[in-house]
Amino acid sequence: MDFIAPKTTPSLWTSLPPQRHATRSRTRSHPHRILISIFFVHTQVLAFGMTEEVRKELGPTASDPLAKFKIFEGNWPSNSIIFPLLMPGTLGALIVLYEHKIFIWGVLWGINSFGMCSS
């Protein structure tokens, strides 16, 4: 999964003095940290589910009309593949991984997964 963060304009940070570098880097990395934390929470919830007790522990939402949609069972299969930077080689390896999976399932089921009908 690739994360696309909004790009800040250079004019926003050129007026800051050099000692404000920590604030600048913290502000720039903040959206990415939020997305990463949501990614890990979704992976955990898919594996273990979300019960009524856990949902109540997260906050007071007794009058939430969507509460019944926030509770579900776990045990949903999912793959989480993390890489530091999306490079052409990394993307190619990911595509090859999924093509190989399709090929193996085709062999096991006795079908030609990549066969195309030509007219």
Type of residue numbered 45: V
19/53 same-domain check: yes
The total domain count for the chain is 2
13/58 same-domain check: yes
Residue appearing with tokens 């007219």: 119
Residues 6+ apart with CB under 8 A from 2: 86
Structure confidence at residue 114 (pLDDT): 81
Structure confidence at residue 92 (pLDDT): 96
- 10-residue mean pLDDT series, the chain (119 residues): 50 52 57 86 89 73 71 87 90 95 94 76
61/87 same-domain check: no
56/90 same-domain check: no
50/100 same-domain check: no
How far apart (Å, rounded) are the C-alpha atoms in residues 32 and 35? 5
Nearest-CA neighbor of 54 among 36, 34, 74? 74
Structure confidence at residue 17 (pLDDT): 55
Residue span of the structural domain in which 59 resides: 1-78
Structure confidence at residue 32 (pLDDT): 79
Read off the pTM.
0.52
How far apart (Å, rounded) are the C-alpha atoms in residues 50 and 97? 31
